[in-house]
Amino acid sequence: MTFMLTVGMGTLPPGVPGGSVVPTWRPGQAALARGRGAGAVRGPCIQALISAAPPDKPVAAMRCRFIQAFGTTLALASAVAMPAISAADAGRTEAEWLRLAVERLCPEPGLTGLDAQTALPGSWLLDETRRPDDGEPRRTVVRLLLPGTDELTVERRQFGGRLRQFLVSYAAHDGEGAWPSLQAIADGGCAIRSGRAIRREEGGRQYLDQLESDLRTLKWTETLQAPWPAGEDPGGVRVALVDSGLAYDLPLFRDRLARDGEGIPLGYDFWDLDPWPYDGDTARGPFLPIRHGTAVASVLAREAPDAALIPFRYPRPDMTRMAALVRRAAEAGARILAMPLGSRNPEDWRGVENALARHYILAVVSAGN
């Protein structure tokens, strides 16, 4: 394994996130970016130079890692000699990849991205994060590209040097992106205890299947996404609920949704930017949705039975969308804006404040928890 380091003063190049790993494979060569200023490192170490003699083993992978610290851009190139991938490795099923990852990676207390890449045949390191990034990490996440275009994400959770949980997730690529499909959950002894699978069906429906340790036997199923139910506008005061979404296909809510003239409910998903704000806070990951909005909506349904609900899924990835959410709620005729959520960042509320000043709407926001 060969490491080379170069330092350039300035910022990371456009489109290259800190700590990202960019493939720069060149058989028999090592790549190194040199220069100064913001243009010192461009794309996948495009300023590549031969900086070492060809290794005595074939170079199976080359990586260039960009790191920024104290205003300095670092480019770290590494060459790893790995065995060629076999036909059996290339033909593994999703479940087989998960089991292999648990078997080979879970027992490693000091797991690194390059260790994972070496242990899993034909994989390529995409990125690696450690939290906290100083001292002993409590959470290590490694993302790998598998033979073909699918991806594997490994997450190690430990405390006091002791492994608590080991998660391996598979994402299948469909030509447009990599979509999470299967997850294995192992305990501190590296034994798989359960699994989760995301299943997609026609019409936009998505389900989360809870599986036994064999990653096949179904325990129960939860809904992740569903189209709007048919129905009529109930009338009454319109209340916009801004939360993790709403399980609007439940009988309790089907007839309480505010609708337009064509009978289409008026809510929107500002998290995923689609028309179906189904309940699910996926900040912890797509396999671990938190259902908060439905519980809050049940209180509204009980305390204000004549109100018509307009569900919105809040924009966790980009809170600047909150201003557009307020405008949309006002245009939909909402008189009350219920926001049982919070943020310590004042900028997240700036757009909300400005939008509320332009509309006749009462905002009820949580002051604590």
Name the residue range of residue 154's domain. Answer: 87-225
Q: Are residues 91 and 220 in the same domain?
A: yes
Neighbours of 7 (CB within 10 A): 11
- Phi and psi of 298, rounded to 5°? -65, -35
Distance CA 141, CA 153 (A): 7
CATH of the domain at 348: 3.40.50.200
202, 225, 248: which is the final residue of a domain?
Answer: 225
Q: What is the pLDDT along the chain (369 residues), one digit of tens a residue?
A: 333 333 333 344 444 444 444 343 333 223 323 222 323 233 333 333 233 333 444 344 444 454 444 444 444 544 444 445 565 666 899 999 999 999 999 999 989 999 999 999 999 999 999 998 767 779 999 999 999 899 999 999 999 889 999 999 999 998 888 999 999 999 999 999 999 999 999 888 999 999 999 999 999 999 999 999 999 999 999 999 999 999 999 999 999 999 999 999 999 999 999 999 999 999 999 999 999 999 999 999 999 999 999 999 999 999 999 999 999 999 999 999 999 987 788 888 888 888 999 999 999 998 876
Q: Are strands 362-365 and 218-225 parallel, antiparallel or unpaired?
A: unpaired
Q: Are residues 218 and 94 in the same domain?
A: yes
59, 80, 101: which is the final residue of a domain?
Answer: 80
pLDDT at 51: 36
Distance CA 334, CA 354 (A): 17
Q: Are residues 61 and 93 in the same domain?
A: no
Neighbours of 161 (CB within 10 A): 8
pLDDT at 228: 97
pLDDT at 327: 95
pLDDT at 347: 82
pLDDT at 88: 64
Nearest to 224 by CA among 251, 198, 185: 198
Q: Are residues 126 and 208 in the same domain?
A: yes
DSSP state, 52? Answer: S
Q: Are strands 238-243 and 218-225 parallel, antiparallel or unpaired?
A: unpaired
Q: Are residues 63 and 113 in the same domain?
A: no
pLDDT at 274: 95
Whether residue 67 is contained in a domain is answered as yes
Scanning 160-229, the segments in alpha helix (DSSP H) are none
Name the domain count of the chain: 3
Q: Are residues 143 and 70 in the same domain?
A: no
Q: Are residues 202 and 266 in the same domain?
A: no
Q: Are residues 335 and 354 in the same domain?
A: yes
pLDDT at 33: 30
30, 48, 80: which is the final residue of a domain?
Answer: 80
Whether residue 233 is contained in a domain is answered as no
Scanning the chain, the segments in alpha helix (DSSP H) are 87-90, 94-105, 113-119, 251-254, 293-303, 322-331, 347-357
Distance CA 245, CA 222 (A): 15
Q: Are residues 244 and 359 in the same domain?
A: yes
> Is residue 7 within 8 Å of 72, Cβ to Cβ?
yes
